[in-house]
Structure 1
Amino acid sequence: MASTYGVAALTRLGLAYSCSSSRDKFLVPQCCGELTIQSCSRVSNAISRQNREFIIPSRSKIREFRLFNSVELDRFVTSDDENEMSDEFFEAIEELERMTREPSDVLEEMNDRLSVREFQLVLVYFSQEGRDSWCALEVFEWLKKENRVDKETMELMVSLMCGWVKKLIESEHDAGDVVDLLVDMDCVGLKPSFSMIEKVISLYWEMGEKERAVSFVKEVLRRGLVFSYGDSEGHKGGPTGYLAWKMMVEGNYKDAVKLVIHLRESGLKPEVYSYLIAMTAVVKELNEFAKALRKLKGFTKADLVAELDAENVELIEEYQSELLADGVCLSSWAIQEGGPSFYGVVHERLLAMYICAGYGLEAERQLWEMKLVGKEADGDLYDIVLAICASQKEAGSISRLLTRLEVTSALRKKKTLSWLLRGYIKGGHFDDATETVIKMLDFGFSPEFLDRAAVLQGLRKRIQQPGKIKTYLKLCKRLSDANLVGPCLVYLYMKKYKLWIVKML
């Protein structure tokens, strides 16, 4: 176990600190008021012992030790443990507290004389407030080397460490001190089945210390530390990604994006997966933004709010463009640092971004990019992009996307043509919508009632325009032939001759 991070910082914290002749030792905080700093070697300990006050506990006093006021360990230590402590247990405690010999020598001597439970109680004793917690780490490290750490002992030590970490956070110590503690935890071989970095971030978050959580992540990245605890499956991409994910859970999508970009532009190196998480946040923010715009348009139609002026429209477009620019920036970093294995998922995120923003041409491009890297998009995504392109009347894109009709099933053909029809309707392109309805009828498909009604209504509003009457009559006739509308009476008025003509379809 080694820690080379700032002895001076330990003085400010009031941590118990000690050194052995073999290597430096970092003692975890006990948070019991102001503790003295003890920084010395084993030799200097022996020389200056008369000037130092070591409290060697009596056996009756040891039997009264409890930790429940600082760390919850009820499931590990019970009142019955007091009766199970042997004389060898108290002897080991006294020897370790004297610090006249290396802890490993003391433990080796006691190896066959102490039970697993008594070794656990030694850990508990030295983890108490006011005790030399360095010994707890030494004991665990020795147990690890001797392969005497079972599941229960591991859980006990993890609980102790979590308690120490929590105390550091509650005491508002610097993020660097928390990282120091995690480093020592890693050095002694403590490997929980979860990420301690994520645990620390969660503690900060639950306490409402969001700025300190950011400082902690910065410190981890600044030192370039890599913690790999237990099974990494399911983690949110490391410290940056996990913190960004926590922000997203609360709906702070823009903050998550800003976090990742800020860390990267500050010269730090967030993990690659954090870029993907930030891109997901861009997608969610664009989606929420689009929902808000649809509500606003609904209020405008209902005359509940005034129509947006040119300045507000410009601000809306600018905000959307900035979000897309952030997403593109994140995608370039992900591809640059992640390599070919990230191509597919990056283009997938970009596709979602452009769909939410309603950028048809860019979305179509991402579909083909995904196809080129071997990640075929779902058929529904092709249809959604087709509808966006239809609303914008992007003839080239529509033509390319419709080539898939030749190799799809009848059900998929109907679904694709329905999306195409709705895209034309949304964009107000009713001549094209009419042709799409007729095409569906030629294939033997029946367009949805609302879609048919929307096309007829759109044509009827434009019936006074030159040539529109023919399109309207043509559609009415085809729908009537397919028994989708009843007989129609069309009234035509010829102004020149002041003549009304009634025609049945």
Structure 2
Amino acid sequence: MASAHGFAPLADLGVTFSSLTSLQRHRFCYSASCRTLSIKFCHGFSISVCNKYQNPVFLVSKPSSSRWFGLSKSVELDHFLTSDDEDEMGEGFFEAIEQLERMAREPSDILEEMNDRLSARELQLVLVYFSQDGRDSWCALEVFDWLRKENRVDKETMELMVVIMCGWVKKLIQEQHRVGDVVNLLADMECVGLRPGFSMIEKVISLYWEMGEKEGAVMFVEEVLRRRISYAKEDPEGHKGGPTGYLAWKMMVEGDYRGAIRLVINFRESGLMPEAYSYLIAMTAVVKELNEFAKALRKLKGFVRAGSVAELDLEDVELIEKYQSDLLADGVCLSNWVMEVGSPSLYGVVHERLLAMYICAGRGIEAERQLWEMKLVGKEPDGDLYDIVLAICASQKEARATARLLTRLEVSSSLQKKKSLSWLLRGYIKGGHFNEAAETVMKMLELGFYPEYLDRAAVLQGLRKRIQQFGNVDTYLKLCKSLSDANLIGPCLVYLYIRKHKLWVVKML
């Protein structure tokens, strides 16, 4: 019967959970005076039907307050199966159970013959009966398939079958069945017209994850992609990234950014074709990994300056640069895949992620390019992003890029000009370019902007060190004069020692 409908995989599953090797059939026995059927369900739900003198009585114990399988729209079984006087089970119900248990004929033939004698509530109870432990779960699937073909699946029946299937999936995972068994069950759901929602896919991944079976979660997603199990997308734009993106997100939550990146890339390189948005999630992981790597490098450099650790040798520097370059290469690869399979609406987000990557890596020229790419696809970058890239380019003394970014100042407000010039100044200071930093301070003073005290002090200190090394005092004197004119420093004497003539020169500012 079951194999005739192409359901062989579920027979191997042992969805009845009584045995993986054999499918035990429990005959439905009854006497003429009293027919009793006891149905037990997970979460404490049970229902007993006693048909005595053709007057069924229902004894229902409601499930606990916990919701079934964490569905977004949870359903309690007693919502379907509690009965009143109008929904009493008749002779047709018991006869249908008996004939389906015997399996002398196809379930569809039995149900077709008894169609007029079974109410919607009786058919729901037939589903529950065959879905319980030790029963032939194939009958539940075939009964539902017949209901669907006969257009007798209403909202309640659909929700009931989803609850049943979720219970099967959960039990398979808890009893540590093979991943293939779980995927087979999802495939069989689709065979009977019960397309699993993405929330169910999420729950399967979460169950594996919460049980510490992370490798099982990876294998499950891989199998779903390989077999192209379809699912209903609750999010029409697919922003959850599908199974791959959701699993990558789970990894990111635990801080395994590198694992999330490799997961998506490995799936793609294996020909499994993850969803477009999963590439963006992996690009976010690249940004986070680069950011954490940059933080670690800053701490390391601090330890070196403090003398706590030895200076980095050439091999260490090369390894650091290679790791960063490999991360950037992964990010670029992911961005190309989004452009290849994603819609144009994602292009702006792609360039935004690339911009964040290059900022974290301190790549000024590449970051500046992404700013213009964002503008070209209609996604205007935030003003702060321009300033950050400006500071990076200034620190690397990228004169052309710095000049291009400064063209924004022509149409900027007074407040924005001061902010951008402050970022420019700090970029020059960080890069050790103190002549350019001094010129920036003087330009700010000309425009009526006063740099922060710490910035001014840093420039003066840097220029003094340069005087000691190279003896060039012109820039230092000009800066002191500008600061004095702006009343930012008081009148002072500058003592200069001219080595060539071994003379001390005193100059009043």
Structure 1 counterpart of 2:411: 407
Residue of structure 1 in register with 2:19 after alignment: 33
SS at match of 1:64: strand
1:314 aligns with 2:315: no
Cα shift at 1:386: 0.9
Percent sequence identity over matched residues? Answer: 71
* 2:60 matches 1:58: no
Letter of the 2:478 partner, please give it. Answer: K
| Alignment check: 8 A CA contact 1:196 1:229 kept | no
Contact 2:81/2:124 (CA < 8 Å) preserved in 1?
Answer: no
8 Å contact kept, 1:70–1:129: no
Give 2:78's aligned residue.
77
Structure 2 distance, partners of 1:136, 1:385, is 62
Determine the C-alpha separation between the residues in 1 that align with 2:393 and 2:411: 21
SS at match of 1:97: helix
Deviation digits for residues 371-396 of structure 1 (CA, Å, limit 9, x no counterpart)? 22222222211111111110000001
Equivalent-residue separation in structure 2 for 1:143 and 1:502 (angstroms): 103
Question: Residue in 1 aligned with 2:164?
Answer: 160
State the distance in 2 between where 1:70 and 1:320 align.
54
Tell me, yes or no, if the aligned pair for 1:222 and 1:268 is still in contact at 8 Å: yes
- Provide closer, same or farther for how the CA distance between residues 71 and 408 of structure 1 changes in structure 2, counting only shifts above 3 A: farther
**Alignment-derived partner of residue 370 in structure 1:** 374
2:350 corresponding residue in structure 1: 346
Unmatched segments (≥5 aa) in structure 2:
47-61, 64-75
Deviation, 1:319, is 0.7
Q: Which residue of 2 aligns with 1:275?
A: 279
- Equivalent position amino acid for 1:336 in 2: E
Paired residues of 1:263 and 1:269 also in contact (CA < 8 A): yes
SS of equivalent residue, structure 2 residue 255: coil
1:211 counterpart residue number: 215
Contact 2:198/2:231 (8 A) holds in 1: no
Quickly say closer, same or farther: Cα 1:399–1:340, change in 2 above 3 A: same
Query: What is the alpha-carbon distance in structure 2 between the residues aligned to residue 374 and residue 326 of structure 1?
Result: 25
C-alpha deviation, 1:427, in angstroms: 0.2
The Cα shift of 1:309 comes to 1.7
Name the counterpart of 1:247. Answer: 251
> Residue 464 of structure 1 aligns to a residue in which SS?
helix
What does the per-residue CA deviation read over 1:41-100, in whole Å, with 9 as the maximum and x for residues that have no partner?
xxxxxxxxxxxx651243877543212379998132399949976234433322332334
Contact 1:65–1:125 under 8 Å retained in 2: yes
Q: How many residues align?
A: 474
Match of 1:290 in 2: 294
Out of 397, 401, 407, the position equivalent to 1:397 is: 401
Q: Following TM superposition, by how much is the alpha carbon of 1:327 offset from its aligned partner in structure 2, in angstroms? A: 1.3
Give yes or no for contact 1:192–1:230 (8 Å, CA) kept in 2: no
1:440 aligns with 2:441: no
Q: Letter of the 1:259 partner, please give it.
A: L
Distance across 2 between alignment mates of 1:96 and 1:345:
56
User: Structure 1 residue 19 and structure 2 residue 3: aligned?
Assistant: yes
How far apart in 1 are the matches of 2:134 and 2:21?
Answer: 8
- 1:368 partner amino acid: W
Distance 1:134 1:149 in 2: 18
Amino acid at match of 2:78: V
Check the 8 A contact 1:421/1:437 in 2, yes or no: yes
| Mapped partners of 2:461, 2:313: distance in 1 | 28
Q: Could you tell me how far apart the structure 1 residues matched to 2:155 and 2:489 are?
A: 74
Rounded to whole Å, the distance in 2 between the matches of 1:23 and 1:490 is 95
After TM superposition, the score normalised by the length of structure 1 is 0.84
Q: TM-score, normalised by structure 2?
A: 0.84
Counterpart-to-counterpart distance in 1, 2:308 and 2:36: 75
Matching of residues 87-486 of structure 1 within 5 Å? 87-88=90-91, 89-104=93-108, 106-107=110-111, 116-145=120-149, 149=153, 151-191=155-195, 194-232=198-236, 235-338=239-342, 340-466=344-470, 468-486=472-490
2: distance between equivalents of 1:298 and 1:396? 31
How far apart in 1 are the matches of 2:18 and 2:175? Answer: 11
Measure the CA separation in 1 of the matches of 2:280 and 2:171.
33
1:68 maps to which residue?
A: 42
Distance 2:404 2:375 in 1: 14
SS at match of 2:39: coil
> What is the rounded CA distance, in whole Å, between the counterparts of 1:189 and 1:23 in structure 2?
13
> What RMSD in Å do the two structures reach over aligned CA positions?
3.0
CA contact (8 A) 1:235 1:242 kept: no
CA contact (8 A) 2:186 2:196 kept: no
Distance 2:148 2:204 in 1: 24
Q: In 1, Cα distance between the equivalents of 2:338 and 2:318? A: 30
Give yes or no for contact 2:80–2:156 (8 Å, CA) kept in 1. no
Letter in 2 for 1:137: L
SS state at 1:319 partner? helix
1:182/1:196 contact within 8 Å kept: no
* Counterpart residue identity of residue 241, structure 2: G
